[in-house]
Each structure stands twice: as structure tokens, then as C-alpha cells.
Chains A and B, each alone.
Chain A
């Protein structure tokens, strides 16, 4: 883009967006997943392996009262 005068920052590729179907179906954009709805079986297996006390230990380790506040 050329709005703000930052010529040094225009040295990279002009358009980072790959030419692929757009989520809005109106032109170029990111690559659409192969199917519309995520298959949940493998993910559920992965989720069940998560230790339910992991967040509690994280809070104790970091002293955070709000897990969502740390990143």
C-alpha cells in the first residue's frame, strides 16, 4: 500500500496474499480447508489427553490468577 509514506517498507513482495479461493468467495485470499466441517474424532482424542489440572499448575507456577491474562 502506498498511503503512509514508508518507501523502505515497500521492498518486500507486493502482495502477500496467495491466489486462492477467498472465504468471502469474492476473489483472491487464503487457502480454503479441504472440507467444510472439522472432523472432531482425532481432536477429541487429543483433548482427552490434556491433564485437567494443567491450568491450575500453570497458575501456581506463574502466580497468575487469570489464565487468560497470560500468553
Chain B
């Protein structure tokens, strides 16, 4: 993390990306693009990250979020993420200091107070959030395979012990990177996952099907359908439009306002039923 707000993603990485591309009805929605957490591999961590963010957004919408404002958010992210003893404190704008766990607890308590019982999903998030906070200060080993930093720390400490090396060894920086490698034959996390040692929120079947087909009633589903059915007819493809060549389909499929699930389903049915003339097969 290098800055708090920016449109960049690969360099000058911000906590909050300000790109104005909602992928939804522009008049009603704004994009919330949080760069922090991009590198998560654990499905459980991802579920907690998305779930707790959803609850915090709801607290903000209800004007019920804790009154917390950090003096230097980027510095705080680095301080907290590098302190695996969870003792580091960061300075708030009001001059007081606070630990990362205290920040989490304040948000959790507010969410529990205002949102508990809203529905099954909310209660799942609250339950797992609380359990994770308890384990962070208790038997943290139980979070291996659930939280990335705990998992990676366990791997690195095990490796250091086996190889009799210290934290200054450059090998550890390479292992740090390799943890996130998405090549199943090389990635350290994926090696752990292949042995069934990580917590799964999805099945392999879910993942395999998501690789080739986006959600059917979204623009992603339409794009996937076109790639599967008309790969030789596609000239260019963006979220807003697909341009075709070859004469089988209209030259341009405009999708800039295509958000209503029913409209997407109609379009999907239409493009699913397109048949190639005999001379084109």
C-alpha cells in the first residue's frame, strides 16, 4: 500500500481505488474498489473480508459506525500488517492510539448491536468474525488455512526451523511471493489446499464452472456465452459492448445499460438460439 486514494492498481497502490466504473446503473450505484486484500488466497479470509465490509458499509449507511479516524492510514496498514504479535498501536486523528484488534472489536460490537438477527447471512458473518477475533488472541494455530497471514507465517516459521535460517534470509522473500502463485504445481497456498488443509467455501466443481461461465443473468454471462459460441466472430469485447465480424451476428452488441436480469436472460436466450448457416459450419 502506497497511498490512500488513487485510480492506479499496479503501481502507487491505494487502499481505496477511485475508478469511476460502477458496473451497475450509474445513477444509483457507485463502485467500491478496495485494493487492500487483493492477494488473499484463503476462501474463508475472502468471505470474512467481503462480509465484514458489507456490514461496515451498512453501519456507515445507518450512521452507526464507530467514530475512528486514523492519522496516517497507509502507515497504519504497514505497521499493523507487519506486527504478528498484534501489539502495535497506531495513532488516531484525535491523538489517542489504538491496536488493530481494538479497531476490529469496535466495528464488530457496532455491527453486532445494530445488525444481529437481520438474516442468516448476517449472523454467519457476525459469528465467524467473533470466532476469528477470539482465535487471534487464543489458539491462533486454528486459523492456519483460514487466514492468509497466519497460514503464511506458519509456513515460513516451519521452513526457517527446518532450514535453520533467520528472518534476514532472502529466501523468505521468495517464499512470500510464491505463497500467492496461482500455478497449482508451484503455489504454496495451492499446495496446502491440494492436501485438503484449507477451509473451503466453494467446491472444485464451482470453481471449474465459474472459469468458463459467468453468472447467467449478468453481462459476464453474456460475454462468456459469446466466447463459447462465437469465438471466431468476436472482433473486440468490453463490458459496454461486443463487436462482431463474420456476418453471423449484428456488428455491435451494446451492453452499456444491460443490468436488469430479465433483460439479460432475454438476450442470452436470443444469442443461445443463433444457428450457423450450413456454409459457415
Contacts and interface: CB of A to CB of B under 8 A. Distances in A.
B38 interface: yes
Contacts of A52: 169-171, 174
Interface string A28-51: 111111111111101110111111
A60 interface: no
A43 B156 CA distance: 11
Contacts of B39: 71
Interface residues of B, number: 68
B142 interface: yes
Interface in B112-141: 115, 118-124, 127-128, 130-132, 135, 141
Contacts, number: 153
B228 interface: no
B234 interface: no
A56 B48 CA distance: 33
B221 to A, nearest CB: 12
Interface string B137-149: 0000110111000
Contact of B127 (A26, A36, A71): A26
Contacts of B154: 38
A53 B121 contact: no
Consensus secondary structure, chain A interface: loop
Contacts of B10: 70
Interface stretch (B101-109, B196-204, B243-251): B196-204
Contact of A28 (B124, B131, B217): B124
A44 B159 contact: yes
Contacts of A2: 118-119
Contacts of A17: 47, 120-121, 124, 201
A21 to B, nearest CB: 10
A22 B61 CA distance: 29
B95 interface: no
Contacts of B180: 71
Nearest to B259: A8
Interface stretch (B65-73, B83-91, B187-195, B267-275): B187-195
Interface string B54-67: 10011001100000
Nearest to A57: B174
A39 to B, nearest CB: 6
B121 A15 contact: yes
Contacts of B200: 30-31
Contacts of A42: 191, 195
Interface of A: 1-4, 6, 8-9, 11-12, 14-18, 22-24, 26-40, 42-44, 46-56, 58, 67-71
12 contacts: A8-B24, A16-B201, A22-B131, A24-B127, A27-B124, A28-B124, A30-B47, A31-B200, A33-B196, A36-B142, A44-B158, A56-B174
Interface of B: 1-2, 10, 13, 24-25, 29, 38-39, 43-44, 47, 54, 57-58, 61-62, 115, 118-124, 127-128, 130-132, 135, 141-142, 144-146, 154-155, 158-159, 162-163, 169-171, 173-178, 180, 186, 188, 191-192, 195-201, 215, 217, 259-261
